[in-house]
Every structure is written in C-alpha cells, then in structure tokens.
Amino acid sequence: MSIFSTKKSWINLTIWVLIIALIIAAPSVLPVFRLNLLGRYLSLAIVALGVDLIWGFTGMLSLGQGIFFALGGYCAAMFLQLNSAGEFPNGIPEFFGLYGVEKLPFFWEPFKSSIFTLISIWLLPAIVACILGYLVFRNRIKGVYFSILTQAALLVFFNFFNGQQKLINGTNGLKTDVTQLFGQMVGSEIMQRWFFWVSAVLVILAWFFARWIVRDRFGNILIGIRDDEARVRFTGYNPVIFKTIIFSIAGGLAGISGALYTVQSGIVSPQFMTVPFSIEMVIWVAVGGRGTLLGAILGAVFINYAKSLVSEALPASWMFIQGGLFILVVTALPEGVLGWIRKDGLRKLLFLIGLNKKLETFPSLEVNEQGEVKS
Amino acid sequence: MQLILESLFNGVAIGSVLLVAALGLAIVFGLMGVINLAHGELMMLGAYSTYITQLIFKQVSFLKPFYDSYVIVAIGVAFLVSGTVGILLERTVIRRLYGSPLETLLATWGVSLILQQFVRSVPLAYGSGMVIALFFGLFSPLFISDDILHGAKGKLIRASTWGFSALLGVATGGVLSSLVSKLSRASARNVDVTAPSWMRGGVDFVGVTFPKTRLLIILITLISVLVVIFFLDKTAWGLRIRAVTQNRPMSDCLGISTETVDIITFGIGSGLAGVAGVAVSLLGSVGPNVGGNYIVGCFMVVVLGGVGNLLGTILASFSIGIMTDLIGAGRLLTIWPEMPSPLFSTIDFFATTSMARVMIFALIVIFLQFRPTGMFPQKGRMVES
C-alpha cells in the first residue's frame, strides 16, 4: 500500500507542501521584522510538539512547560553572555557588576564551552523534567493533580529565577541580542536569517522525531496510558517509566525551543515562566488538534501570528479572543481544527448549509423496473 | 513568647485568607472533580464588589450614615455577585464538560481571561448592571410557579423575565454611572478599598498588637467555615451534596437531582470566592490580576488537604500560612537564633516571600511522596481514585 493511498496522507502531504513552500518563500517575501516573528513562532512549534506528545498522546496536561522552555533559553543566553564577556572587567558579564559580584558563579563555568551548551540546552531541561516527573508519577499523581503540581512548580521556578539577581540577573533576564556569535552580533539581520533557517529545519526534524516516537509500540503504550492507565498497568507495563520518558522528551524539546526563541527575541527572562504563557502552549495544541503532530505545529504558528496581528490592531481585544478560543475549542472542537478536517468536518459543514449531498452509506442495488434486484 | 504569639497570629491570618479562598474551590473540586481556574477571577469580582459597595455608601446620601457598616453589606453583595457569575459559568460551560476535568481546566482558564479583560474594558457601573440582569434572569423563574412556566405561554414568560431583567440591568448601570462618577469609565488601574474607621488600628494583647483588619478576616473565615459545615451537615441539600460527592451514579439512581446539586454547589463555591475577595480587598489594592496571586496557594491547599474533606482543607491552609510566615518573614531565625549554622544559612536563603514559596512547594512535594492523596485521602475501593 502506498503511503498516499489514504485520505489522511493526502491532507498531510498538501499541508507539508504548503509549509515547505511557505518556509522557502518567506525569507525573500517578508520584511526582516516579520521574518523574525515567523522564526520565533516556528521555534514555539517545537515546544508545542512536546506538549502534544505529553497531552495529546499520553493524556497528561502539563501547565509547567515554561520551566523547561526557560531553562533552555537560559543555557543559550549564559553561553552567549560568556562568549562576549571578554571586553568587560574581570571577564564576566556586565550585569554582575551592578550587584557587586566579582567572581563568576560556579554553575556558569561550564557554559564557556559551546559543546557543553549545545548538549545542556536539551539535556538539562530533560533531566529536570525526569526528576520532577518521576517524583510525581511514582505516586500515581495524575489528572488534575498533575496539572496543578506542574503549575505550582512553574511558579516556584519563576520565583526562584525572579529573585536571584546575583546569580542570573533576576527579573531583568539575560540579554542576547548584543552578544557575539561567530564574530557577528546575535541581533543582526544576517544572524536572524540564519536562526530562521535553523528553526525551520529543527521544527521538521522535531516532527520526524516525534512521529518516530508515536508510531511504534511505544506510541501505542502512550495512547494506552491516555485512554486507560490502569489497564496498561494490569497488562504488565509500568506506566511510570513511559510517562517519565515522554515527559523528559517533552522537556528536552521545550529546552531546544526556548533556546531558539531566546536568540530570536533577544532576551530570556523569568517572563518565560509565567503561568499564562505555559497555558497558551496548551491552547496552540488544542486548536491545531491534539494527538496530531502537524496540528501542534500549525496551531503554534498560526495562533501566535494571529496574536501579533490582532494585538497590533486592537490591543484590548486579544484577551477576549483568546479566552473565547479556549472555551470554543474545548466545547465545540475537542479534536482541534486538523482533527476536525480529518474526520470529514468540512463535508459535514457543507452538508449543514446545504451545499453537499448526503453520503450514501450502502452501495445502491441495481433494480429493474419491477423493483426486483438484478442478479 | 511574644514572638511566637505574633508569628502564630500572622500565620493564622495568612492561612485564613487562604482558607476562605480555598474552601469554595475544595467543595467544588470534591463534588465534581473540576478545577476552576477562574476561581481567582471570582475572588477578583468579590473584591470589586466591595469597592463598588463602598463607593455607593460614600456617594448616596441616604446610605451615608451607615458608611461604617459597608463591609458587612459587601460580604453579602460579593457572595451574590460571584455566586451568580459562577452559576452562569456552570450552566453555560462547565456542565458540557463533566467527566473531562482537563478540558474544564482549559475552559475555565479561558473564562478567567475574559473576566480579567471584562473588568479592564467595561465601565464598572455597566458591569454591575450586567451582573444584576443576570441575577434576576437566572433566579426569577424560581419564584414563578411551575404550572405557569410549563404552561402554554411558558416560553413567553421566561423570555419576558429575561427582558425585564435586562431592562433592570440597564437601568442600574445608568443610575450607578450617573450617581458615582468613578464607576462610569473603564479603567485598568488598581483601586483601593479604605477600611471604615472602626477597623483601623489594632488590639493590644499581652504586649502584642493585632491589626483589626486581620482579626476581621479571621472572623469572616471562621463564620464562613461554620456556615459551610452547618450547611453540609445539617440541611437536606447538604446531605445531597455529600451523597453526590461520595458516589454520583448511585445518588442519581436514588432520585437526587445531581444537576441541581451541581448548580447549588457551584454557586456556593463561587460565592465563597466572592467572600474571599472581600478579605483580599481589605489587605491590599484591587486590580484585574488580584486573583492570580492567591490561586496557586489555593490549589496547594486542595492538593495537600485531600479531596472532599473540610478538615484537611482547614489544616492545610493554616499549616501553609504559618510556614509562610515562619520562613518568609524570617521569623524562625529570630525565634531560634542558636540553630546550627548550615540550617541557619539555608533558612536565611529562603527568607523572602517568594523564596518561602519555593521552600513550601518543595516541602509539599516531599509530603506527597509519603501521602500521595493528601492529608485525609478519600477512602474507596476504586482502582482510579
């Protein structure tokens, strides 16, 4: 059977062709400001993929993905700060001087190495997620309790990062756009174009990775955990291990996403760990279609783009729209837009407004004039 | 001794705000398994109701002599306002989502965003007009006999009650905005509730001064808890609520209208959020985001206390309150100065309000390692508890 034989594959193929065409066309069409925004949203799509893995496939609603997102961002920012710190007194980043810190805090040291940074961007959030997840899952804390605990953890990290001026510049965050990388300013146009390409490629790689995870037996167990965890346990699998693994993977993806987002927005600050931002990640997935990896990407990019367009035009109305979107998606479109399309939603809609014929649900029999069935 | 007393008092004061805020959340969560992320915004509505009541008492001439008692009136107003909005929320959104708590969580977050922006961009006078319209629209059918409502012209009568309520709401909005000029324009700025004169100052007791506002908050909490306990334990509807909490399908089979129970519970839970809002408004300035500061604390109380258990909720909120004060205000260091130095420096590191939260969360996670379902877990034989 060819992979293009099913309807789902055709929808997927169309969307992929569109996405790749858009990505290739964007740098020459869009002005730098918009391109930069698009690059940021593409990097947010990576964290959305992680949310989809743990929520859409495994049924765990984490409201704390901002922790891992910000950790990845801080890793990248610390490296960039150190990379261009040579011109400052003591060879340490400038902001330390404001708080009278003379010596680099110990945990900054390894970030002088680029290889360590590249690894830590995804490994550090993954390890934090692993520890946090293991402690929670081991006790069979799930459902709403899990959501609340992740939210509380988010708040804890926020408070910690917000309060530690002497270690990581507290509420001001770490700036990256005036730092140097490969002899270029990170905030310069040429670097931003490069970051756009890196984001685009990484989104596609992350999609392949996520698909590789969910399409095999491992993915089946995840879906099993989502639908009935007790049965999975009774069948002899240990859900704790699977949940911890997938939560760590989502954490790692969030870290990569955070690092890319940081270099493109020019700053990482505890604002990445506020409660609303982490819940927004969930709504991108919900709108795009939970349980559909492509939906997560589309949701992240389109909702953020809509957000920036609407907030530029009517600043006050975005909150109303966003709130309405939450309610609408949950009550009317639980499968998300992509799930809806895949389930023949378009045809049903056309039928509702009388533009389409009702489906014949059985093959019509050939009947002769007397009403007898031809043999 | 004085220090310990002062610390205990502060802890109890912090804990009682948490308690009255978490009480409604805990009841609703115990009954429906629903986490209401808009609970903080219902508190915010309660706080704004206090502000509006205060302004009305200040501006309207025949109410002026009773200005000092506006806080008492505000408690009732806040209860009704938040309760009404809560019931609307239950009727329109939450009842569609029973059995899927995570979806409810997201939907209520959407509601909370809308409520926040609503307070920012709608003038408070018209906002309260809308609440009044809702209130009468939702409740007036209760006072019309069923025969008329289900009779030939039932639909017409229902529609006309809504029309009447809408008119009433518009009239209230108009009157309020002309009477109290501060309410006629939308504003995103924080507002302040000033305590009446009898609430200023403090009470001296064995050399320690207890601020009267905090005493009043403790009193409000105490009364709310007692009323809730009385309601749940002694009244017929309380009995039904407890039955549904224990076993929903069974209660349904035995003829309890679970739908009505849900409405009542949600109304009371939201109303308690409003009462908490009054307490919050007495502590600091009131803004659209005021609920967010308390909501995660409330969740922690619910998680720590265990589901559907008032005693757990009470103990959890007071222990969190006392811990916050002991660690966050650095009082533990003054009470026990000769503690071993590694411990001293650790606690010193956590001795700010935000760092105290970090420590308390860590302690809660450690606690949950030993008692995963909170202090007083619900007993049952279900696999999925």
User: d(Cα B169, Cα A249) in Å, to the nearest integer?
Assistant: 53
Neighbours of A323 (CB within 10 A): 22
**A326 in contact with B at a CB cutoff of 8 Å?**
yes
Distance from CA of A149 to the nearest CA of B (A): 8
Q: Which residues of B touch A329 (CB under 8 A)?
A: 106
Neighbours of B238 (CB within 10 A): 17
User: d(Cα A264, Cα A257) in Å, to the nearest integer?
Assistant: 11
pLDDT bin (cut points 50, 70, 90) of residue A1 is very low
- With beta carbons less than 8 A apart as the criterion, state whether B144 and B161 touch: yes
Q: List the one residue out of B54, B75, B72 whose CA is nearest residue B63.
A: B54
- With beta carbons less than 8 A apart as the criterion, state whether B32 and B265 touch: yes
Distance from CA of B297 to the nearest CA of A (A): 8
Kindly determine whether residue A159 and residue B357, on different chains, have CB atoms separated by under 8 Å: yes
Q: List the one residue out of A162, A175, A163 whose CA is nearest residue A94.
A: A175
Q: Which residues of A touch B111 (CB under 8 A)?
A: 323, 326-327
Strand positions, DSSP E, chain B = 202-205, 208-211
Residue type, B145: S
For residues A269 and B183, which has the higher predicted lDDT (pLDDT)?
A: A269
> Which pLDDT score is estimated for A18?
83
For range A234-245, the mean pLDDT: 91
In a mutational test of the B interface, the residue from A131, A326, A329 whose CB has the highest number of chain B CBs within 10 Å is A326
Q: Give the number of residues written for chain B.
A: 385
Tokens at residue A328, please? 């609408």
For residues A337 and A57, which has the higher predicted lDDT (pLDDT)?
A: A57
What is residue B199's DSSP assignment? G
Please check the confidence at residue A2 and state whether its pLDDT lies above 60: no
User: d(Cα A130, Cα A248) in Å, to the nearest integer?
Assistant: 5
The contacts of residue A355 (CB under 8 Å, 6+ apart) are none
Residue type, B20: V
Distances (CA, A) of A81 to A71, A254, B152: 15, 21, 76
Q: What is the pLDDT of residues A150-197, one digit of tens each?
A: 888 888 888 888 877 777 787 888 887 777 777 677 777 777 888 888
The contacts of residue A240 (CB under 8 Å, 6+ apart) are A134, A137, A138
The contacts of residue A175 (CB under 8 Å, 6+ apart) are A77, A81, A266, A267
Kindly determine whether residue B368 and residue A140, on different chains, have CB atoms separated by under 8 Å: no
Please check the confidence at residue A239 and state whether its pLDDT lies above 60: yes
Residue B191 dihedral angles phi and psi, to the nearest 5°: -120, 160
Containing B246, the helix (H) or strand (E) segment is helix B236-246
For residues A30 and A73, which has the higher predicted lDDT (pLDDT)?
A: A73
Coil, helix or strand at residue A324? helix
User: d(Cα A322, Cα A303) in Å, to the nearest integer?
Assistant: 9
> Which pLDDT score is estimated for A251?
93
What is residue B13's DSSP assignment? H
Ranges of chain B whose pLDDT falls below 50:
383, 385
For residues A7 and A149, which has the higher predicted lDDT (pLDDT)?
A: A149
**A163 in contact with B at a CB cutoff of 8 Å?**
yes
The CA-based angle A142-A335-A302, given to 5 degrees, is 105
Q: Which residues of A touch B292 (CB under 8 A)?
A: 275
Distance from CA of A342 to the nearest CA of B (A): 21
User: d(Cα A159, Cα A170) in Å, to the nearest integer?
Assistant: 9
CA B281 to chain centroid: 12
Kindly determine whether residue A319 and residue B292, on different chains, have CB atoms separated by under 8 Å: no
- With beta carbons less than 8 A apart as the criterion, state whether A220 and A97 touch: no
Q: What is the pLDDT of residues A78-89, one digit of tens each?
A: 888 887 766 666
Kindly determine whether residue A155 and residue B357, on different chains, have CB atoms separated by under 8 Å: yes
The contacts of residue A302 (CB under 8 Å, 6+ apart) are A287, A288
> Which pLDDT score is estimated for A78?
86
Q: Which of A217-221, A349-353, B196-200 has the lowest mean pLDDT?
A: A349-353
Residue with structure tokens 């700060």? A81
> Which pLDDT score is estimated for B54?
86
**A245 in contact with B at a CB cutoff of 8 Å?**
no
Distance from CA of A252 to the nearest CA of B (A): 22
User: d(Cα B385, Cα A144) in Å, to the nearest integer?
Assistant: 12
Q: What is the pLDDT of residues A37-67, one digit of tens each?
A: 888 898 999 999 999 999 989 888 888 899 9
Q: What is the pLDDT of residues A116-127, one digit of tens each?
A: 888 888 999 999
- Minimum Cα–Cα distance from B357: chain A residue: A156
Please check the confidence at residue A351 and state whether its pLDDT lies above 90: no
User: d(Cα B350, Cα B342) in Å, to the nearest integer?
Assistant: 13
Give me the residue from B29, B96, B121 closest to A316, CB to CB. B121
Q: At what angle do helices B2-32 and B212-234 cross, to 10 degrees?
A: 40
Give me the residue from A152, A163, A276 closest to B299, CB to CB. A152
Strand-strand pairing, B202-205 and B208-211: antiparallel
**A4 in contact with B at a CB cutoff of 8 Å?**
no
Distances (CA, A) of B97 to A327, B110, B156, B256: 11, 14, 30, 20
Distances (CA, A) of B122 to A120, A232, A317, B165, B280: 47, 50, 12, 19, 22
**A332 in contact with B at a CB cutoff of 8 Å?**
no
Distance from CA of A265 to the nearest CA of B (A): 25
- With beta carbons less than 8 A apart as the criterion, state whether B36 and B28 touch: yes
Strand-strand pairing, B208-211 and A184-185: unpaired
**A282 in contact with B at a CB cutoff of 8 Å?**
yes
- Minimum Cα–Cα distance from A60: chain B residue: B102
User: d(Cα A274, Cα A256) in Å, to the nearest integer?
Assistant: 18
Give me the residue from B102, B111, B303 closest to A149, CB to CB. B303
Helices (H), B284-371: 292-305, 310-323, 331-335, 341-349, 353-370
